Amino acid sequence: PLSPPGSRSPSLKRRPTPSPSSRGHSSRSGVTDWQIATLALLLGGAAIILIAFLVGLISICVGSRRRFYRPVAVMLFAAVVLQVCSLVLYPIKFIETVSLKIYHEFNWGYGLAWGATIFSFGGAILYCLNPKNYEDYY
């Protein structure tokens, strides 16, 4: 049966809206969704780099290096994209959640993550270079 306009049925009760301070928090103590997303992106990039390293190592041991240049380069570029996304997301969301009464500096781990990302990007570029010219030297 249809209810008259303007009246509410008992099954459609309004849910309380969350307060602005509770948005973006998960059920764990003090861990927010953006922290989980940042961690997932960084760990995903690290896993892709590990897989690319293992593929490169196996290709050297088997002796078919030239065949695996492109897949390793694509994996390294994908890892760089994931890591850059997480390293840009982290300071933006961190500054939004912390009161800006004092100056915040990031720990040395943030710089180390940027260094690893830059080296991964350099490795991907080196894998994209023409491998035919350098195969004779090995």
Q: What is the mean pLDDT of residues 107-113?
A: 87
The token pair that represents 128 in the structure block: 């994209």
User: What pLDDT is recorded for position 26?
Assistant: 47
Q: Would you call 86 exposed, middle or buried from its count of C-beta atoms within 10 A (0-12, 13-18, 19+)?
A: buried
- Residue 41: count other Cβ atoms within 10 Å of its Cβ: 19
Q: Looking at per-residue confidence, does 81 or 129 come out higher?
A: 81
- Global confidence as pTM: 0.68
Q: Which residues pair with 32 in a beta bridge?
A: 25
